[in-house]
Structure 1
Amino acid sequence: MATIRNAFDPGFGVYVHWPFCLSKCPYCDFNSHVRRGDVDEDRFVEAFAAEIAHRAKLAPGREVRSVFFGGGTPSLMSPSTVEAILDEIAKRWNMAKDVEVTLEANPTSVEASRFKGFRIAGVNRVSLGLQALNDIDLKALGRQHTVAESLMALDIATNVFERVSFDLIYGRAGQTAAAWRKELDLALARAPEHVSLYQLTIEPDTLFERMVNTGKMTIPDTDTQRALWDVTQEITARHNLPSYEVSNHARPGAECRHNLVYWRYGEYAGVGPGAHGRIITTRGRRAQATEKHPEMWLTCVETEGHGLVEDELLNSEQEGDEFLLMGLRLREGIDPQRYFLLTGKKLSQSRISELIGDGLVEITRENRLRVSSEGFPVLDAVVADLAA
């Protein structure tokens, strides 16, 4: 395993999950929990400190290149909580001089008022969940902010943080390609260096799934979804925000370093309720996950010293599948030699040749295998074919 890590080093990151939200969005299947009362942040800080210490023992001596506060809604935390967690990370690992520290935030006026505090705490990149620039659709998506608040928060964030990104969801009920073109042009005219544009998927056990199944909501058909995808690629390219991953666009050099750790199949520690991690130990790569329920996670950490409920040693086939699943999302593609080092076998040349013939994948000058522009809309099928 050391050979693989030295030859291909995507870096090490820390993911911190804050599980609380003001409300549950109807499309969301993330580990988020609505709490009406005050959250005991001091107690959570102590638990985060214990989990960070536990992961540092499993993965000692790492240099942290990125920290990502996700959720849930991390911008509901007080800046002092963020600062305390960052201090604990710095106490257990070396922090890179140019470490990227991202915090996801909702653009409500209350949360935007904390931005300066987050910057002082050590956050240097914020990711705003705008989701739509249409008040009717924002309400349908269960969002707690308006378009006016979104644009105000974006202006504040741009003035406070070194780096800013925002999310939008397309493929919404009743959305047309013409309407999306207009909305995306408006958004990207104010765009910072990075945007995440997600096509709406109906996830299991969400309110949207129940609405679709009962006929109360209709999502765009396949042809409209493809038209929306094509508009997305066209408009982002025109605004000099090309895709570097299937749903993420950035100016050259402004890619999200933390997410690149995932997609390049790097190593990361996950702490907090429902967090996932991939730690490389002397025995191999371990897939880890923590208890999802916030109060149960607290109890686990306070009694056991950590909240892990899954800690599986991956075999070579599992590593190969994960490597393909993550790496082929990237516009840069993968190095087939790393697949060989992970699995001990080569990718099927006959399958690759067939996919090249179908125009779905291509080989670059650097001998990397990547999904083509025509292949990205059917990415899951391409990955499944290569992994078979």
Structure 2
Amino acid sequence: MARALYIHWPFCAKKCPYCDFNSHVRAVVDHDAWREALLSDMRAEAAAAGGERLRSIFFGGGTPSLMPPALVAALLAEAERLWGFDKEIEITLEANPSSVEAANFAALAGSGINRVSLGVQSLEDDTLRWLGRLHGAQEALEALGTAQAHFGRVSFDLIYALPGQSPRQWETQLARALGFGTSHLSLYQLTIEPGTRFASEVRRGAFVPLDDDAAAELYDLTRAMTESAGLPAYETSNHARPGEESRHNLTYWRYEDYAGIGPGAHGRRGGFATVRHRKPENYLAAVNERGHGIAQQCSLPVAEQAAEALLMGLRLAEGIDLAALAARFGMESGELVDEGALARLHGLGLVWTEGHRIGVAPPGRGVLDALLGEIVADGLVAA
């Protein structure tokens, strides 16, 4: 049963040119209407997803820090009424580091948020402008300080492997980021996603993405520096002090059930996949008509569930327990992984095995997608 809840707030002040998330810019947002819709959708999901106490809640977006703190408080109060909260519950909210949003941090902490993830993205003004961000570097640092004063746990994001970025440039910026003392960092290589403005610019020749070899060098540098600083990679792009990992995201990567409400939100419960309507107006109409925002709900074949569990779990430094996974899905280990490919990759030092556990070794993490294509057995349906 679901022990994690994801709440999607779809609105942003501006659409970033690299972003392919379900985010929308609207001149006016009716917060009362959204309060009622999200509460109704949450009640419907709780009725379907069982009553285990929640161990994590994550407000994602979009830009959830644009939500009125009173709305956040109302959603948390209803979630606690419906499910109950684990005594160590992690409640995360994604925030942009603008001065306007940072002014709400005290109220958001008072509403129950105990962890914040800041979308800093860069510590350089020129890069922030190129990325289409509305904040500057100094504003981001001031917001980070405010966040650290109000929340027990703080993470922030940076984007690297930018066009023309050198190892020296990234090393300088990452060393500075590590010096701020947060317990968690999410460090993402720039990817050119289809349908984004950056994808159009690359097609027009406006800029050339960093090549794979150069990006791999920066990835290795990132892993070495964060590990040396005591924030090793526990997932491909996420780094934390031991015990400070994102509990909510670990729910996804360990392929445990979670409920998802709000426009475009996905969920997994009891072998079923749920997807909410993506467009905000369609979502509101669906909730008003049916009491929930589900656009699709389907039972996943066991093979597809197993493939998803493998693809998610092998992103983690801890790897997966192959025997436990096989037992969970009523399969043999050889039906989950290509044992010949696994042995070959182990011999190359790209994967590790330890009893029933397998995982991708540090030298293989930079080519994770290619390795997954070899490791996962042909008979499984890829997620």
For normalisation by structure 1, the TM-score amounts to 0.94
Partners in 2 of 1:223 and 1:380 — Cα distance?
Answer: 15
**Cα-to-partner distance string for 1:191-220 (whole Å, 9 max, x where unaligned):** 300000001111010001111111101111
Deviation of 1:57 after TM superposition, in Å, equals: 1.2
Partners in 2 of 1:383 and 1:89 — Cα distance?
Answer: 36
1:385 corresponding residue in structure 2: 374
2:360 corresponding residue in structure 1: 371
Contact 2:338 2:374 in 1 (8 A): no
1:252 corresponding residue in structure 2: 242
**Cα-to-partner distance string for 1:239-284 (whole Å, 9 max, x where unaligned):** 111000000000010000000000001110000000000011xxxx
Partners in 2 of 1:90 and 1:167 — Cα distance?
Answer: 29
Deviation of 1:352 after TM superposition, in Å, equals: 1.4
Contact 1:12 1:65 in 2 (8 A): yes
1:333 corresponding residue in structure 2: 319
**Which 5+ residue runs of structure 2 have no aligned equivalent?**
379-383
1:324 is the counterpart of 2:306: no
Partners in 2 of 1:232 and 1:94 — Cα distance?
Answer: 39
Partners in 2 of 1:93 and 1:128 — Cα distance?
Answer: 27
Give aligned pairs, total: 373
**Cα-to-partner distance string for 1:72-97 (whole Å, 9 max, x where unaligned):** 00000010010011111111112111
Contact 1:336 1:369 in 2 (8 A): yes
- Which residue identity lines up with residue 13 of structure 1 in the other structure? A
1:135 is the counterpart of 2:122: no
1:24 is the counterpart of 2:10: no
Partners in 2 of 1:321 and 1:185 — Cα distance?
Answer: 37
Partners in 1 of 2:132 and 2:27 — Cα distance?
Answer: 17
1:33 is the counterpart of 2:20: no
Deviates more, 1:258-267 or 1:214-223: 214-223
Deviates more, 1:211-220 or 1:69-78: 211-220
Deviation beyond 6 Å, 4+ runs, structure 1: none
Partners in 1 of 2:330 and 2:124 — Cα distance?
Answer: 47
User: Which residue, 80, 95, 119 being the options, matches 2:70?
Assistant: 80
User: Which residue, 100, 124, 127 being the options, matches 2:114?
Assistant: 124
Contact 1:317 1:343 in 2 (8 A): no
Listed as ranges, the matches of 1:59-98 within 5 Å are 59-98=49-88
Deviates more, 1:212-221 or 1:128-137: 212-221
1:205 is the counterpart of 2:205: no
Contact 2:184 2:231 in 1 (8 A): yes
Contact 2:8 2:61 in 1 (8 A): yes
Deviation of 1:343 after TM superposition, in Å, equals: 4.9
1:217 corresponding residue in structure 2: 207
Partners in 1 of 2:200 and 2:147 — Cα distance?
Answer: 36
- SS across alignment from 2:320: coil
Partners in 1 of 2:239 and 2:204 — Cα distance?
Answer: 35
Deviation of 1:367 after TM superposition, in Å, equals: 2.9
1:8 corresponding residue in structure 2: none
**Cα-to-partner distance string for 1:54-80 (whole Å, 9 max, x where unaligned):** 111111221100000000000000100
- SS across alignment from 1:21: coil
Partners in 2 of 1:312 and 1:158 — Cα distance?
Answer: 41
Partners in 2 of 1:72 and 1:21 — Cα distance?
Answer: 5
Partners in 1 of 2:184 and 2:274 — Cα distance?
Answer: 29
Partners in 1 of 2:370 and 2:211 — Cα distance?
Answer: 19
**Cα-to-partner distance string for 1:171-190 (whole Å, 9 max, x where unaligned):** 11221111000011111101
Partners in 1 of 2:300 and 2:362 — Cα distance?
Answer: 31
- Which residue identity lines up with residue 169 of structure 1 in the other structure? I
**Cα-to-partner distance string for 1:10-55 (whole Å, 9 max, x where unaligned):** x720000000000000000000001122x11111111111111111
Contact 1:174 1:220 in 2 (8 A): yes
Contact 2:323 2:356 in 1 (8 A): no
1:344 is the counterpart of 2:337: no
Deviates more, 1:337-346 or 1:79-88: 337-346
Deviation of 1:337 after TM superposition, in Å, equals: 1.4
- SS across alignment from 2:181: coil
* Identity across matched positions, percent: 47
Partners in 2 of 1:303 and 1:343 — Cα distance?
Answer: 39
Contact 2:53 2:83 in 1 (8 A): yes
Partners in 1 of 2:227 and 2:279 — Cα distance?
Answer: 41
Distance change (3 Å), C-alpha of 1:343 and 1:220? farther
Contact 2:8 2:264 in 1 (8 A): yes
**Which 5+ residue runs of structure 1 have no aligned equivalent?**
6-10
- SS across alignment from 1:196: strand
Deviation of 1:339 after TM superposition, in Å, equals: 2.5
1:226 is the counterpart of 2:216: yes
- Which residue identity lines up with residue 7 of structure 2 in the other structure? V
Partners in 2 of 1:249 and 1:98 — Cα distance?
Answer: 21
- Which residue identity lines up with residue 289 of structure 2 in the other structure? T
Partners in 1 of 2:45 and 2:350 — Cα distance?
Answer: 40
Deviates more, 1:222-231 or 1:130-139: 222-231
Contact 1:287 1:313 in 2 (8 A): yes
Deviates more, 1:91-100 or 1:345-354: 345-354
- Which residue identity lines up with residue 218 of structure 1 in the other structure? V
- Which residue identity lines up with residue 330 of structure 1 in the other structure? L
Partners in 1 of 2:230 and 2:101 — Cα distance?
Answer: 29
1:187 is the counterpart of 2:177: yes
1:56 is the counterpart of 2:46: yes
